[in-house]
């Protein structure tokens, strides 16, 4: 006897919900065509649809991310067996990681999207949506953290990132690769995520910033953030985690103000380490008080710092939380 799974589909907008107009421009629809799908996996899945937002992904903020998290928490009391979230791809990885950090649930939570709008030739939206439902409805997907399913691959929210502006295979996991694939319509896993503890929050703070280092960078941008409003800063440093020496006095002024600063690498692979012992090298930066965060890119580290500060973490607890991708 087939057990029918109750899957909550939360729709938030993005290319997966858009269409091309007569000029070939991709624009939002008044109604989300993906959200009208009710018969996917008929006989195996009962789809519960919630059109929470209709936002292009650059319009997504942590405020909306928190609302999605709260909706999923509520869903666990409603007999929901898994959740699929459709989302624009530009900020998809940030929403997915926010949920991964804050959700206490063990039910499968899958985020998906599309690189081609609903009426383009070769549109991938409905295909990705169906694959995401298959993953969310499978018992083997439990306790995997939040997952991103695109182009028949299953990635962890923690490490996946968008790598191409338009290609349908844009979502990749540098260094580690996907944890599984969707084969013959079903998930097949071949890696296991080291699970992290969730950090429950009921609000999100503002003014946590992200800067990218570059050759010849000076103090200008850092001094612009030296205000009472600034709550935290993530820097994508050079190489293994280094900065131009001219930036150091400005960084010290931020630290003296009590602003936490997290350092990651701007490199596509690898992570920040305190290897180099020269002015502006990782060893000096760590001694100054910068927190080196391993395994996350800049946008993910910013989400993690924002969550930690929203949870009230300070001092050693904040440093421990930010020092590694697994917390």
Active site residues: 15
Round to whole Å and give the CA distance between 279 and 257.
22
User: Under a CB-based contact definition with an 8 Å cutoff, are residues 68 and 10 in contact?
Assistant: yes
Rounded to the nearest 10°, the torsion over CA 176, 178, 180, 183 is -140
The angle subtended at Cα 25 by Cα 24 and Cα 31, nearest 5°, is 110
Round to whole Å and give the CA distance between 321 and 91.
23
Joined tokens for residue 53: 């937002």
Residue 185: how many CA atoms within 13 Å on its side-chain side? 4
Closest CA to 312 of 200, 196, 188, 172: 200
Round to whole Å and give the CA distance between 299 and 54.
23
User: Under a CB-based contact definition with an 8 Å cutoff, are residues 113 and 89 in contact?
Assistant: yes
- Name the one residue in this structure whose structure tokens are 């182009």: 151
Round to whole Å and give the CA distance between 198 and 146.
11
Round to whole Å and give the CA distance between 261 and 305.
9
User: Under a CB-based contact definition with an 8 Å cutoff, are residues 4 and 82 in contact?
Assistant: no
Query: Residue 95: CB partners within 8 Å, gap ≥ 6?
Result: 12, 60, 64, 65, 68, 85, 87, 111
What does each C-alpha distance from 241 to 9, 41, 185, 221, 278 come to in angstroms?
Answer: 40, 47, 42, 18, 12
* Three-state secondary structure call for residue 181: strand
């Amino acid at each position: 006897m087939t057990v029918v799974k109750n899957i909550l589909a939360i729709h938030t907008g993005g290319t997966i919900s858009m269409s091309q107009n007569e000029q070939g421009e991709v624009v939002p629809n008044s109604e989300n065509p993906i959200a009208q799908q009710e018969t996917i996996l008929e006989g195996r899945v009962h789809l519960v649809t919630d059109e929470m937002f209709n936002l292009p992904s650059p319009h997504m903020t942590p405020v909306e991310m928190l609302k999605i998290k709260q909706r999923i928490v509520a869903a666990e009391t409603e007999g929901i067996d898994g959740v699929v979230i459709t989302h624009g791809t530009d900020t998809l990885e940030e929403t997915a990681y926010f949920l991964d950090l804050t959700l206490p649930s063990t039910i499968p939570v899958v985020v998906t999207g599309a690189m081609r709008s609903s009426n383009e030739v070769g549109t991938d939206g409905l295909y990705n949506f169906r694959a995401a439902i298959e993953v969310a409805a499978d018992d083997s997907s439990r306790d995997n953290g939040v997952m991103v399913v695109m182009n028949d691959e299953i990635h962890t929210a923690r490490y996946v990132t968008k790598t191409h502006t338009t290609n349908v295979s844009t979502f990749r996991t540098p260094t580690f690769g996907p944890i599984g694939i969707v084969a013959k319509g079903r998930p097949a896993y071949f890696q296991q995520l080291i699970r992290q503890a969730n950090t429950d929050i009921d609000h999100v703070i503002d003014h946590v910033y992200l800067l990218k280092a570059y050759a010849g960078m000076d103090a200008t941008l850092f001094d612009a953030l030296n205000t009472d409003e600034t709550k935290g800063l993530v820097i994508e440093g050079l190489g293994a985690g280094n900065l131009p020496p001219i930036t150091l006095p400005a960084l010290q002024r931020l630290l003296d103000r009590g602003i936490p600063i997290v350092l990651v690498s701007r490199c596509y692979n690898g992570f920040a380490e305190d290897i180099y012992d020269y002015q502006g090298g990782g060893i000096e930066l760590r001694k100054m008080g910068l927190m080196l965060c391993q395994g996350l890119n800049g946008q993910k580290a910013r989400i993690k710092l924002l969550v930690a500060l929203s949870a009230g973490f300070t001092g050693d607890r904040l440093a421990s939380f930010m020092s590694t991708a697994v917390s």
